[in-house]
Structure formats: C-alpha cells, structure tokens
Amino acid sequence: MDLLKEKIIKEGKYLGNGVLKVDNFLNHQIDVDILNEMGKEWYRIFRNENINKILTVEASGIGVACITAQYFKGAKVVFAKKSKSSNIGNDFYSAKAFSFTHRNTNELIVSKSYLSEEDRVLIVDDFLASGEAFDALVSICEQAGATVVAVGAAIEKKDQGGAERMKKRGIRVESLAVIEKMDDDGTITFSD
C-alpha cells in the first residue's frame, strides 16, 4: 500500500535492533485517515470471504481492527486481553506470546463467548515481526474451532520471519507494507 509506505518513509524512525518507531501515526498518536485507507485495502482483498470477526490484541491493534471492521458490515471486533480482568471468569481461550518490544511473555486471553466455530476471522495487528502475537491468536482461533481466513499486519518486517512462520502453519498473510530491511543509517527498503 503506497500511502502507508510513504508515511513510514516520512514519519517512521528506525531505532536500531529491528525496531521501527511509528508512534506518530500508528501506535501512540493515531492518524485515522491512514487507518481508514488500511481498512479499505483489507476490505478490497477480503470482501468475498464472509468475514464476521476481526481479532486483534490490545492495545495497538484495537484502533486498526475497529476502523477495518467498519468496512466489513456487521463484523465484530474482538481483542485478546493481556491480563485477566475480574469479570472474564474462567471460560476463556488462552495462548502465550513473547512480546518483541516489551521483552516479556504475555498470556493472551479471549472469552469463549466471543469466538466460536461459526466465526470466519481476519486477524489484524500493527506489526508482524517474529509472529509470536499472530501465532498465539491463531492458536486461540483453533481452540475455538473458528476459521482463520488470514492474518494481516499494517507493517511486516520480513527479516524477522513471522510471515514465513504463519505460512508454514498454513495461514494466509496479507501485510500492507512489507519491509525488506532497515539500515543503521535509517534507510528503509520495502519488498515491492
């Protein structure tokens, strides 16, 4: 998606160690216009897939998921929680994911009420790096018997292997901007 790539070049900042800072428009301050374009693009790709659930993980994925869901009429957003709130009870699916940015392991939790074998799910998030977060979300869908139509990241960092990991699991990947490499001088190279 050219608009997103331009935005990354203009406003993204490579921090080193494989970390790209895009909190000017994606995961601190949010540019709703670019999120809208992302939602439109995923709708263009998946409009015939009868998606009824958009699954993500708190916190950065929620904005992306909600704006995307507006294009899939009637689709609900479900976000995995990173901690058990007192009202979730014991009826939940869970899977562990190591966080690339926080360097800790989270148990991702989704209530059994909000995912079932009738669901056709698009999983979205801001980044696809090593694929830990998506892997856990796919596991949660499997526990529920739901169909994963695809995973989609706004930004995929190809060299961190997450897309390969998903494809090996038989999961379709549709990222909107695929970064081939980031150099120490700040140069960002896209795959296509």
Binding mask 90-119 for ligand 5GP (x = CB under 6 A): -------x-xxx------------------
Contact 169, 136 (CB under 8 A): no
Q: Could you tell me how many residues of this chain bind ligand 5GP (CB under 6 A)?
A: 19
- Specify the stretch interacting with ligand 5GP by CB under 6 A; choose among 33-41, 74-82, 131-139, 169-177: 131-139
Rounded CA gap, 17 and 6, in Å? Answer: 22
Taking the complex as a whole, the smallest distance from the CB of residue 90 to ligand 5GP amounts, in Å, to 26
Binding of ligand 5GP at residue 14 (CB under 6 A)?
Answer: no
Nearest distance from residue 49's CB to ligand 5GP, in Å? 23
What are the distances in angstroms from CA 79 to CA 20, 103, 141, 170?
23, 21, 12, 22
Nearer CB in complex with ligand 5GP: 22/52: 22
Identify which of 63, 91, 99 has the alpha carbon closest to the alpha carbon of residue 79: 63
By beta-carbon proximity to ligand 5GP, the closer residue of 41 and 125 is 125
From CA 63, how far away is CA 77, in angstroms rounded?
A: 10
Tell which one of 125, 148, 163, 188 touches ligand 5GP (CB under 6 A): 125
Q: Which of 54, 68, 110, 126 binds ligand 5GP (CB under 6 A)?
A: 126
Q: Judged by CB under 6 A, does residue 20 bind ligand 5GP? A: yes
Could you tell me the smallest distance in angstroms from the CB atom of residue 130 to ligand 5GP? 4
Cβ contacts of residue 44 below 8 Å, gap of 6+? none
Query: Under a CB-based contact definition with an 8 Å cutoff, are residues 163 and 175 in contact?
Result: yes
Is 34 a binding residue for ligand 5GP by CB under 6 A? The answer is: no
Separation of alpha carbons 115 and 20, rounded Å:
32
d(CA 20, CA 157): 9
For ligand 5GP, the closer of residues 69 and 108 by Cβ is: 108
Three-state secondary structure call for residue 156: strand
**Residue 133 contacts ligand 5GP per CB under 6 A:** yes
